[in-house]
Amino acid sequence: MHIENEPSLLYPRDEILETRYDRNGVTDSASATERDTEAELEHQAYLREQEPRKLWDGYYKFDLSVPPGLPRAGWIAGRGRWPTDTRALAKANPNGGVDLLLATQPLPRSLHPEPHGVSLDGRNISKSHGALNHGKSTIQIGPLQYEFTYTNRTEAEESKFQEDKKDYFETELHAPSPPPALSVTPSQNSLQIGEWTFSSPLGKGVSGIVSAASNFKGDAVAIKSMVRSSQRDSRMIQQEVEVLESLKSLLEDADTDRRIMRLVEVIYQWGSPIWDGTRPFEYVWILSLPLARSTFAELVRRDTSRDTDCNMAFFQQILQGVAFLHRHRWMHCDIKPANLGLVSLNPPRAVILDLGQARSIPNSGWFEPYPGTCGTIGYLAPEMERELFNESVDVWALGVVGYELMTGSHPWMMAQNPWREDKEQLRLRWEDKYRTTMRELQEADDGTIEHLLTQMLQHSCGNIGNTNQRISASEALQHEFWQLSTTVTQKKRKI
């Protein structure tokens, strides 16, 4: 390959080949005296197409070391109908030649001038776009065929590539680089399920591994891979699927702000939702939207240069999601940083993930304690395993997350659950930590986040605090803090 001065045009390595198409079977019957009919014009165009022409043979390399001349447009292979200045790009001449344009974003329809038809792996994408999400893809443009292949990179090459990509996004596209796990680039031996190609795993929980996956249109989803190898696994998976299905229509109709993940599809490895036990194990894949770029766990881990306004915007959105669930008589039951996703940083968009443990609230409004069946140590409200409890356990858990967002550390993390019968010593230590934390928070004025958190972290166990005083999610959204913080943000913006 050699590269000339214009970096957007990558010329092939090999010599230009002169090729003559086979003209057999084409009859040159048009008479010079006849008027040009539409059919004849078409025929002449066809004959022109059959003229000897120069074909490029060789390969093109798309690489960050050779960035495109017009970064917003993307990489170009071919003679290039695309001029190098943006205004002219809009008026691109559709007959200037055949190119392959690897755009960084879908092109507007008016910029799809290819008259011959374009297909990707046999699918017509002339009027749309396609994602190169297989290790190898075939791109057909009229009579030309390209084979697109991803290079396998070593670990060192991969980390260099990720660094270069970050620089490229920041300097050329003025946007944050998408995290590697969200890239549609397939990993080596990527798994393909239906139309979805898996990329790298995003997170792991007790019940499954969640990966990003994309289809040929470039749509991205989260896929949770779960294995069932017993009736018990099968029941647990089925329970999660039923909850997600019940919430799906509710969310589609009502959750206009999209604060909660939603089910897209469930794929059973052998097609049946019923486990018949004839195979040693089977996969079940749960597809959901949106795909989060990271979670609150990362937000909490960030150093002290935390962007408080942004963190509070995320926190408020999650509170809205929780209030939505409670209004529709659902309780999440496992609120914690790893289950709260960040979809976008600017504008901030957060989403509640993992509804696997969500429960619908009974008419009585109360749940019986059933130790060890839901929630995560560190986020369990004290009453949860000892007394009748209600959906306000979500508010407690979110209060703990709010404290972590604010300070970067957990107020009372313990390896074991201090609320079990035999954990008296642990419980005393917990109560100590709780009192210290609350005293610290109560020093702040009304209308501050600290004040809001003290109201979210009320409880009645051990005669300290009072669950009845715990604020509900919708009351928390009305807290003075939000009014004041909006004013502060607006003032900041004006400056």
Ligand X SMILES: Nc1ncnc2c1ncn2[C@@H]1O[C@H](COP(=O)(O)OP(=O)(O)OP(=O)(O)O)[C@@H](O)[C@H]1O
User: Cα separation of 472 and 324, whole Å?
Assistant: 12
Q: Which residue is nearest to ligand X (CB)?
A: 205
In the chain, the largest separation of any two C-alpha atoms, in whole Å, equals: 106
Cβ partners under 8 Å of residue 119, min gap 6: 125, 126, 139, 140
Q: Is 354 in the site for ligand X (CB under 6 A)?
A: yes
Can you tell me which of 202, 213, 401, 473 binds ligand X, judged by CB under 6 A?
Answer: 202
Residue with tokens 């294995």: 227
Q: Is 353 in the site for ligand X (CB under 6 A)?
A: yes
Q: Which residues pair with 209 in a beta bridge?
A: 204, 225
Q: Is 263 in the site for ligand X (CB under 6 A)?
A: no
The smaller minimum CB distance to ligand X, of residues 262 and 459, is found at 262
**DSSP assigned state of 367:** B
Nearest distance from C-beta of residue 372 to ligand X, angstroms: 13
The smaller minimum CB distance to ligand X, of residues 208 and 402, is found at 208
The smaller minimum CB distance to ligand X, of residues 23 and 204, is found at 204
The smaller minimum CB distance to ligand X, of residues 237 and 453, is found at 237
User: Cα separation of 334 and 336, whole Å?
Assistant: 6
Nearest distance from C-beta of residue 205 to ligand X, angstroms: 2
Q: Is 380 in the site for ligand X (CB under 6 A)?
A: no
Q: Is the separation of the CB atoms in 461 and 469 below 8 Å? A: no
Residue with tokens 């507007």: 108
Residue with tokens 């109908």: 81
Long-range contacts of 91-100 (CB under 8 A, 24+ apart): 98/141, 98/142, 98/144, 100/60, 100/76, 100/139, 100/141, 100/146
Determine the size of the site formed for ligand X (CB under 6 A): 22
Q: Is 288 in the site for ligand X (CB under 6 A)?
A: yes
Q: Is 261 in the site for ligand X (CB under 6 A)?
A: yes
423 is in an annotated binding site: no
User: Cα separation of 72 and 278, whole Å?
Assistant: 53
Q: Which amino acid is at 276?
A: D
The stretch near ligand X (CB under 6 A) out of 7-15, 138-146, 190-198, 353-361 is 353-361
Q: Is 356 in the site for ligand X (CB under 6 A)?
A: yes
The stretch near ligand X (CB under 6 A) out of 10-18, 51-59, 111-119, 206-214 is 206-214
Q: Is 186 in the site for ligand X (CB under 6 A)?
A: no
Annotated binding site for ATP: 224
Which residues contribute to the site for ligand X (CB under 6 A)?
202-208, 210, 222, 224, 261, 288, 291-292, 295, 334, 338-339, 341, 353-354, 356
